[in-house]
Structure 1
Amino acid sequence: MLLFLHFIFFILLHIMTGTEHAAAPRLLWSDEFDYRGAPDKRRWTNDLGDGCPKVCGWGNGELQYYTKSIQNVRLKDHKLIIEARQQQRKNSRFTSARLKTQGLAAWQFGYIEVRAKLPAGRGTWPAIWMLPENFNHDSLPDGEIDIMEHVGHDPGVVHGTLHYAGENLQSGGSIHVPDFDTSFHRYGINWTADKIEYYLDGELYHVFENNIQAGTNPFHQRYYLLLNVAVGGGWGGREGIDPAVWPQRLEIDYVRVYEPLVTAAQKQYMFGK
């Protein structure tokens, strides 16, 4: 009898393990930042400067000058640090960093999740976002996916927004995160052919139903990922810039890109609910 019960136990364990593995979405790309020094050049490249001459102020009137200096971007304690500093560089009073996967990795559809702790203070504007693979700054992008944005003059309100048809149309939502600057949170989107869902720590807070005509749909193409901290700008600097808060950091624990979550079992596996 005891041998029979052991046999049944192992059969059930095998079934449960197989079900769990079947529900696990496939990891397509990641950076766990479990190394030292600068960001991995096989995964990341940098935007540099102030956007000039094509888009001075990066198209938003931003005040930072992007560098790849260790003062602005580095790894520490298995975290990626992007630090905005009040520091003169050419005609800019601030320096910061912007990383991107352009030319190295891009995806059409997927569950993208970044675990991060955000900077605080008036004038900060951190972002985790995506642009079309073929975008070259010569014109407005044909689609933009903002996974997470936060502006320091509205502390604790995190935004997830889609822009399309240039800047003429957008869909977005927001959620309150009171400890945005003291705790790490998981910012994610589940991007499929017919919708884009926004998540905070596994909680759904906005859904975009993608009913745009096929063939002209800006969200049916490959996008690359960007991570940055801007300073000032039309939105980030709307209430001015506090000179006393600098430097400020965006800290990132990991970046992960999975295949899209298309079943309830996959969402249960990822979110535990």
Structure 2
Amino acid sequence: MLTFAEEFDHFNSRRWNDHIWYERSNPTKNYAVENGVLKIWPQRDAAGQFFNRTLDTDGKYQQTYGYFEMEAKLPRGRGVWPAFWLFAHPGERRPEIDIMEAYPAGEGWGFMDRSGMYRPNVYAATVWPGDGRSNAEGKAAGFVMYETHTDLSAGFHKYAVKWEPHRQTFYFDGKPTMTVHISMADPMYIILDLWFGGASGLPDDTTPQGKDNAFEVNYVRAWKFK
């Protein structure tokens, strides 16, 4: 049963927040909905700094178990770190299912084209139990770096997870990439973000800014099992 269908006909503030729960929103606008696609792009703010942008459904939509899917095109360049994930923050616990994280400039995560631009062809999926220890210690219940053999910034692809009571199976364009056997029952909300850093390093003057280098999301959908 379809429970969440965001086709991005417009930006729905009743469904999406434009900042993560522990931070304020940066007033510099670096996201928009155009022609049925959400775009989040690298941009320097008034202080000249690249800044993280998070769009999430915290307090507006959450779900336990189901099939969650995004169709998206990823940005390119040093420092960019796009992600699609499920998360909850009940008390001190931080359960998390990372459906897609990409680091184009990280070693083993992407490739450099003839112009010297970093482009993504590998992405990660990760499960964090959020048991009060695993996240703090940096230990995941499951992790895969999936080699797609394609430039993920050149076209749209589908990233998904089937979250069952005792199992999580991840998919790329409908093909299974990893299965993790662990119980997770906390309702989680959806996060789309474009952050900077991590394995991709820090952005610099070579990192393309603006809508032409956006994290482009065609849709986000979720189904619940009958």
TM over 0.5: yes
In 2, Cα distance between equivalents of 1:131 and 1:124:
21
In 1, Cα distance between equivalents of 2:203 and 2:219:
29
Percent of residue pairs identical:
27
Residue-by-residue CA offset, 1:138-158 (whole Å, 9 max, x unaligned): x5x432110100002122111
In 1, Cα distance between equivalents of 2:97 and 2:26:
24
Point out the structure with max Rg over C-alpha: 1
2:199 is matched with: 235
Which amino acid is 2:94 matched to? D
Any stretches of 5+ residues in structure 2 without a counterpart?
A: 111-120
Runs in 1 of length 4+ with deviation above 2 angstroms? 65-69, 86-89
TM-score by length of 1: 0.68
In 1, Cα distance between equivalents of 2:4 and 2:60:
11
Give the aligned CA root-mean-square deviation in angstroms.
Answer: 2.2
Q: Is the 8 A contact 2:20 2:56 kept in 1?
A: no
Q: Is the 8 A contact 1:108 1:221 kept in 2?
A: yes
Which amino acid is 2:44 matched to? Q
1:172 is matched with: 143
* 2:172 matches 1:200: yes
2:26 is matched with: 67
Shift of 1:133: 5.4
Which amino acid is 1:130 matched to? L
Which amino acid is 1:29 matched to? F
1:8 is matched with: none
1:184 is matched with: 156
Q: What pairs up with 1:108-257 in 2 under 5 angstroms?
A: 108-132=64-88, 134=90, 139=92, 141-153=93-105, 154-155=109-110, 156-164=121-129, 165=131, 166-167=134-135, 168=137, 169-170=139-140, 171-177=142-148, 178-210=150-182, 217=183, 219-232=184-197, 234-237=198-201, 240-247=202-209, 248-257=213-222
Shift of 1:249: 1.2
Which amino acid is 1:33 matched to? F
TM-score by length of 2: 0.82
Q: Which has the higher contact order (CA 8 A, sep 6+)?
A: 2
Shift of 1:236: 3.1
* 2:36 matches 1:78: yes
Residues matched between the structures, number:
203
